[in-house]
Amino acid sequence: MTKISVTVNGTAQTHEVEPRQLLVYYLREKLGLTGTHIGCDTSSCGACTVHMDGMAVKSCSILAVQADGCEITTIEGLAKGDQLHPVQEGFKECHGLQCGFCTPGMIMSATDLLQNNPDPTEEDIRHALEGNICRCTGYHNIVRSIQWAAEKMKTSARALDGAPVSTSPVYASVNLNQQQQV
Amino acid sequence: MKPFTYTRADDITSAVSEVSQQEGAKVIAGGTNLLDLMKIDVMQPRHLIDITRLALNTIEETAQGGLLLGALVTNADTAYHEQVEQRYPLLSHAILAGATAQLRNKATDGGNLLQRTRCYYFYDTHTACNKREPGTGCSAIHGYNRIHAILGHSEHCIATHPSDMAVALAALEARIHVTGPRGERTIPIADFHRLPGDTPEKDTNLADDEIITSIELPSKGFAQHYTYLKNRDRASYAFALVSVAAGLDMEGDTIQEARIALGGVAHKPWRNPEAEALLIGKRASRENFQPVADAYVQKAKGFEHNSFKIELACRSIVRALMQAAKIDQ
Ligand SMILES: Cc1cc2nc3c(=O)[nH]c(=O)nc-3n(C[C@H](O)[C@H](O)[C@H](O)COP(=O)(O)OP(=O)(O)OC[C@H]3O[C@@H](n4cnc5c(N)ncnc54)[C@H](O)[C@@H]3O)c2cc1C
Ligand code: SF4
Ligand code: FES
Ligand code: FES
């Protein structure tokens, strides 16, 4: 057994783990954070996506021992109390999910994209989601959900900057059809 | 996964001495290939040495005007590095054509070169495979061999090397710096990966007790005229059936130098310097590109399910050169 210390969703954790334990099993079974899903176990589907030191990674292809000293964020760590993260809200508003199995991974990939590229084109979004497989939605509404979130996050950033914000909800004015012509 | 012991290396010397002294030891970097193979018992190291905390994670300029990519720089950090994007866009494009964002965030440049073949039988421990278990035979030669090699294969193995990055590095003539118990050495990329011959279990000329420390890019980056063309079964998230990394050095429309490396066709990135030389002093045109493409596949030999790759490679080379030269017709 090897001792590891990780910060998960802001809480420090210390445990003894077997070297062969994958990070995803550590999160789900040791910490009970079952929002991170296992869809394939072969680094393919993206259901297990979490952030490690701020970057989206597949937690089924990382040993828990390798995460020692790192900061992990899972889907459970995105909302602030009752307030959903804009990407979570986007999925709700734009019907970005059906069965919901892929959704935590989709959202973790999308939040990584938006922190590096706040104004992504549709093509940027599709490229960023290459490693997340969804059997239900056909992806279109997932892309829309992320466009919705990007728009909302830009608006809140402008509001924080003190710049004038339109009184009508900006997301209602997002012209999705136009954005799709990329 | 079979149990194993684990240590984290603090410096290169101790990593090297552990790899050379511990039986069944392997280094682990991003783990995106090694762990998948361990999950299904294709690889069964008894001891893992985690090298991810070694100070090999920077990109630096060399005195010769090139760049030195530390072995542990992630594929994502390499592809989006300003100098790489500007001076070696061929490399950025090749990396971004492979795997997915989450994998590139974790995968390292050294690990990328050492990823193993995607031959289906190599992954299936119930079948014979000379690469996985030397002497058992090759299930692919008379099996389903759609993704397999058309060049440089042997009767013992017809697998291909799956890396996109390595194909760009072959075109750029990168040099691989390695270190081991016998000291440091540099291996040109052309000599890094091997042809299968009668020892297909060996993918590369890196010794078992050596580790890659960095990858050196020479100053010439072909940033004006380049293409990475990846042909695959679907437009995203698939390994190459045939890929072409092309770089041209042009003066007006006359070619001074041409580099062409193929992926997905052999056990290593495939170059043919004699065929490339046919273009020196020639005008960039479809007529002049065609004989080069023909020369590349002249000795190609396909199998039951992959002979389409010969024509595909030929056409892909012409297309890639047209794109690199920025000509439409
Ligand atoms: C679903 C999926 C899709 C993919 N698609 C593509 C694709 O389209 N194109 C493509 O090119 N790749 C693709 N990949 C492969 C990916 O690029 C590799 O898995 C990755 O680059 C390996 O790097 P790593 O650091 O994770 O290596 P590891 O998994 O850590 O190591 C791989 C091997 O290299 C050895 N090693 C690692 N670093 C060193 C070092 N410095 N010195 C000596 N030995 C070392 C290890 O011992 C191991 O044997 C895909 C992978 C997955 C899982
Ligand atoms: S082609 Fe190579 S890797 Fe595939 S089954 Fe034959 S020996 Fe094994
Ligand atoms: S469970 Fe990790 S990628 Fe599918
Ligand atoms: S919503 Fe069902 S897998 Fe994506």
Task: Summarize pLDDT for B221-272 with one digit per residue, the tens.
Answer: 999 999 999 999 998 899 999 999 999 999 999 999 999 999 999 999 999 9
- Domain closes at, from A76, A110, A137: A76
Kindly state whether residues A67 and A25 are assigned to the same domain.
Answer: yes
Ligand nearest to the CA of B169: 1
Is B299 domain-assigned?
Answer: yes
Kindly state whether residues A36 and A70 are assigned to the same domain.
Answer: yes
Do the Cβ atoms of A57 and B31 come within 8 Å? no
- Coil, helix or strand for A54? coil
Is B270 domain-assigned?
Answer: yes
**Distance of alpha carbon B301 from the chain centroid:** 21
* Number of structural domains in chain B: 2
- Domain closes at, from A28, A53, A76: A76
Kindly state whether residues A43 and A109 are assigned to the same domain.
Answer: no
With CA atoms as reference, report the closest residue to B163 among B57, B262, B28: B262
- 3-state SS track over chain B: CCCCEEEECCCHHHHHHHHHHCCCEEEECCCCCHHHHHHCCCCCCCEEEECCCCCCCCEEECCCCCEEEECCCEHHHHHCCHHHHHHCHHHHHHHHCCCCHHHHHHCEHHHHHCCCCCCHHHHCCCCCECCCCCCCCECCCCCCCCCCCCCCCECCECCCCCCCHHHHHHHHCCEEEEEECCEEEEEEHHHHECCCCCCCCCCECCCCCCEEEEEEECCCCCCCCEEEEEECCCCCCCCCCEEEEEEEEEECCEEEEEEEEEECCCCCCEECHHHHHCCCCCECCHHHHHHHHHHHHCCCCCCCCCCHHHHHHHHHHHHHHHHHHCCCC
Domain containing residue B16: CATH number: 3.30.43.10
Kindly state whether residues A68 and A90 are assigned to the same domain.
Answer: no
User: Chain B residue closest to A109 (CA)?
Assistant: B102
* Number of structural domains in chain A: 2
For A24, counting Cβ atoms within 10 Å of its Cβ (0-12 exposed, 13-18 middle, 19+ buried), the class is buried
Domain containing residue A173: CATH number: 1.10.150.120
Tokens matching residue B187: 């291996």
Kindly state whether residues A69 and A109 are assigned to the same domain.
Answer: no
Kindly state whether residues A110 and A37 are assigned to the same domain.
Answer: no
Is B41 domain-assigned?
Answer: yes
- Confidence (pLDDT) at A163: 53
The residue type found at B256 is: Q
Is B286 domain-assigned?
Answer: yes
Q: Which of B7, B93, B115, B177 to mutate to test the pocket of ligand 1 (most atoms within 8 A of CB)?
A: B115
Kindly state whether residues A104 and A164 are assigned to the same domain.
Answer: yes
- Give chain B's end-to-end CA distance (angstroms, integer): 53
**Tokens 């310097």, located at residue:** B273
Residue B180's beta-bridge partner residues? B183
Is A81 domain-assigned?
Answer: no
* Residue B24: domain span: 5-51
Residue B117: what are its φ and ψ, rounded to 5°?
A: -60, 160
What percentage of chain B reaches a pLDDT higher than 90?
Answer: 98
Do the Cβ atoms of A61 and B28 come within 8 Å? no
Shortest distance between the Cα of A62 and any Cα of chain B, in A, equals 6
- Minimum-distance CB partner of B35 among A61, A68, A128: A61
- Domain closes at, from B51, B66, B84: B51
The residue type found at B248 is: L
Is B120 domain-assigned?
Answer: no
- Minimum-distance CB partner of A66 among B4, B50, B105: B50
Is B171 domain-assigned?
Answer: no
State whether residue A28 sits within 8 Å of chain B by CB.
no
Query: A127 CB less than 6 Å from ligand 4?
Result: no
Query: A28 CB less than 6 Å from ligand 3?
Result: no
- Confidence (pLDDT) at B235: 86
* Contact between A85 and A73 (Cβ < 8 Å): no
Q: Which residues, at least 6 apart from B10, have a Cβ–Cβ distance to it below 8 Å?
A: B53, B54
Q: Is the ipTM of this complex over 0.90?
A: yes
- Domain closes at, from A57, A76, A95: A76
- Confidence (pLDDT) at A182: 29
Do the Cβ atoms of A57 and B105 come within 8 Å? yes
> What are the average pLDDT values for consecutive 10-residue runs of chain B, which has 329 residues?
96 95 95 98 98 97 98 98 98 97 98 98 98 98 98 98 98 98 97 98 97 98 98 93 98 97 98 98 98 98 98 98 92
- Coil, helix or strand for A115? helix
Cα–Cα distance between B211 and B161 in angstroms, integer?
Answer: 19
| A residues 53..82 contacting B (CB < 8 A) | 55-58, 61-63, 65-66, 68
- Coil, helix or strand for A111? helix
Kindly state whether residues A168 and A110 are assigned to the same domain.
Answer: yes
Kindly state whether residues A62 and A102 are assigned to the same domain.
Answer: no
Kindly state whether residues A91 and A157 are assigned to the same domain.
Answer: yes
pTM beyond 0.80, yes or no: yes
Domain containing residue A59: CATH number: 3.10.20.30
With CA atoms as reference, report the closest residue to B111 among B35, B33, B225, B188: B33
* Residue A64: domain span: 2-76
Q: What does the DSSP 8-state code read for residue A142?
A: H
Residue B262's beta-bridge partner residues? B244, B270
State whether residue A119 sits within 8 Å of chain B by CB.
no
Is B110 domain-assigned?
Answer: no
- Coil, helix or strand for A4? strand
- Confidence (pLDDT) at A111: 98
Is B187 domain-assigned?
Answer: no
Residues of chain A with pLDDT under 70: 160-182
Is A103 domain-assigned?
Answer: yes
